[in-house]
Amino acid sequence: MTTGKTIESLVLLTRSGDAAAYAELVRRFQDMAVGYSYSLVGDFQLAEDAAQEAFFEAYRTLENLREPAAFPGWFRRIVFKQCNALKRGRG
């Protein structure tokens, strides 16, 4: 069970291959990712797309995160970059 774990421990578990730990990170940060994306792109469907892409990118590059406890800010930056990429592609 991963619901009582810290963000840092979830990141470390995810790095070691624990899919349930990453699912818990997604659950914890889903609302922030979609809400923040929506504030940047102004379209709910695009916001959901940006959030989904951000979660994929975060998973793919999780080994690059030097300090696991910094996941929230690191992930928010990934969301920001995904929104910018979507806006460039749309505009």
Q: Give the pLDDT of residue 91.
A: 46
Chain centre distance of CA 60: 11
Q: Give the pLDDT of residue 90.
A: 63
Residues 45, 62: contact at Cβ < 8 Å?
no
Could you identify the residue written with the tokens 């990141």? Answer: 11
Q: What pTM value is reported for the model?
A: 0.91
Q: Give the pLDDT of residue 59.
A: 98
User: Is residue 15 exposed (0-12), middle (13-18) or buried (19+ Cβ within 10 Å)?
Assistant: middle
Better pLDDT: 49 or 4: 49
Q: Give the pLDDT of residue 3.
A: 72
Q: Which fold has domain 7-90?
A: Rna Polymerase Sigma Factor; Chain: A (1.10.1740)
- Domain locations in the chain? 7-90
CA 19/CA 13 separation, integer angstroms: 8
The 10s digit of each residue's pLDDT in 26-71 is: 999 999 999 999 999 999 999 999 999 999 999 999 999 999 999 9
